[in-house]
Amino acid sequence: MGGAQAQVLRAAQMSIWARVRDLKEDDLETALWKDRILAKAWGMRRTLFLLPSDDLAIFVRGSARRAEKEIRWMLNHGVSEQVLERLVRAVLFAMDTPSTRSELARRVSKSLKLPLRWERGGGWGSQRMIPCVQLGDVTCPAYYLLHLAGARGVLCSGPSEGNEATFVRADAWLRDWRDVPRERAESELLQRYLGSFGPATVADFVAWTGMGFKDAGEIWAREEASFAPVNVEGWPAWILRRDLSELEDSKIERPTVRILPYFDSFLLGHMKRTHLVETRDLGRVYRNQGWVAPVVLVDGRVKGVWTHVENGKRLSVRVEPFGPVPRLVSAAIREEGRDLGRFLGCESVEVNIG
């Protein structure tokens, strides 16, 4: 699936529920914080994902060219390469244990003897006071230190301290850590992408990773010998050559119905989405400010959106279909709703369609 986007952690948990039979919510907490077989980290598009720990370096280093723009920004604003490398090394060194942004800024300020300042900000219009390290004429908020370090190292989230997130180097947090050189990670990431989202084009790979066309095109060219060209309703695309025979022979038991949460990875793998959603319904799924609605899939196409409300041990699911709902599809939607209630630990589930 190419990771579960985790800007909203509950959405990522539900994305994994949609793909793993009999999963329980507690299983994911155990996987993240006890067994550490899952990691929460910045990956494609520099957004947060839940990713398999064994393959974390593939996803992070494979998409790290997106993070290079932070390095270029610093260099373009008068910070020398030598000073910048010292800063990045200090940040990575300070992340040997899970640390909040404030703790990280203090440790870096102390180790490099740089002034520590507090300024208003934090993104999304926030006016809270945040710690910053002063580097000559450039002020580096703590969250920006993380993005700089993410261009060179592999970071992930640690357990929260109260309401504050913590961050830590992957090699200091994950058991049996396995790093991967960037070029190899990039090639493997593209293979993973096409294995999950093919048929696709280089423009789709650009949209999924957040890289520029030049960088993505370079990686694509390295791997092109392993691709097979296909025709998808009149437009050219590519899949992995090794997947071609399996796809040609595949059969789907219909109807196949799934309900997917907001920001689900299935909806974010391509630049154009009309193979998933009718043009007239795109605005109901892909909304303003990057919001991607929860959807009802029928045989791989979006046939409605849905919302849910948890009230104690009660779950209410409301489905807004885009057209008539056949009886078999309606029954499958209700079954999906009941299983979502089981996953969330709800004792009562109500599903309303239409």
Question: Contact at 8 Å (CB) between 67 and 147?
Answer: yes
Mean pLDDT within 312-329: 96
On whether residue 53 sits in a domain, the answer given is no
- Rounded distance between C-alpha atoms, residue 204 and residue 270, angstroms: 4
Q: What percent of the chain has pLDDT over 90?
A: 84
On whether residue 12 sits in a domain, the answer given is no
- pLDDT tens for residues 203-262? 999 999 999 999 999 999 999 999 999 998 888 999 999 999 988 888 888 899 999 999
Same domain, 193 and 280: no
Q: How many domains does the chain have?
A: 3
CATH number at residue 284: 3.40.630
- pLDDT tens for residues 256-281? 999 999 999 999 999 999 999 999 99
On whether residue 327 sits in a domain, the answer given is yes
Same domain, 110 and 126: yes
Residue type, 198: G
Same domain, 281 and 343: yes
CATH number at residue 243: 1.10.10
On whether residue 204 sits in a domain, the answer given is yes
CA angle centred on 123, ends 121 and 124, rounded to 5°: 120
Same domain, 190 and 238: yes
Same domain, 129 and 95: yes
Same domain, 114 and 95: yes
On whether residue 40 sits in a domain, the answer given is no
From 229, 249, 269, the end of a domain falls on 249
Same domain, 83 and 145: yes
- pLDDT tens for residues 17-55? 999 999 999 999 999 999 999 999 999 999 999 999 999
- Say what the pLDDT of residue 248 is: 86
CB atoms within 10 A of CB 21: 6
Residue 309 has pLDDT above 60, yes or no: yes
Same domain, 142 and 241: no
Same domain, 273 and 344: yes
On whether residue 30 sits in a domain, the answer given is no
- pLDDT tens for residues 175-212? 989 999 999 999 999 999 999 999 999 999 999 999 99
Task: Give me the residues paired with residue 350 across strands.
Answer: 316
From 156, 173, 190, the end of a domain falls on 173
On whether residue 301 sits in a domain, the answer given is yes
Residue 119 has pLDDT above 90, yes or no: no
- Residue 163 pLDDT grade (very low, low, confident, very high; cuts 50, 70, 90): confident
From 153, 173, 193, the end of a domain falls on 173
On whether residue 287 sits in a domain, the answer given is yes
Same domain, 278 and 236: no
Q: What is the mean pLDDT of the chain?
A: 93
Same domain, 237 and 280: no
Same domain, 222 and 277: no
- pLDDT tens for residues 82-101? 999 999 999 999 999 999 99
Q: Which residues constitute the domain of residue 83?
A: 66-173
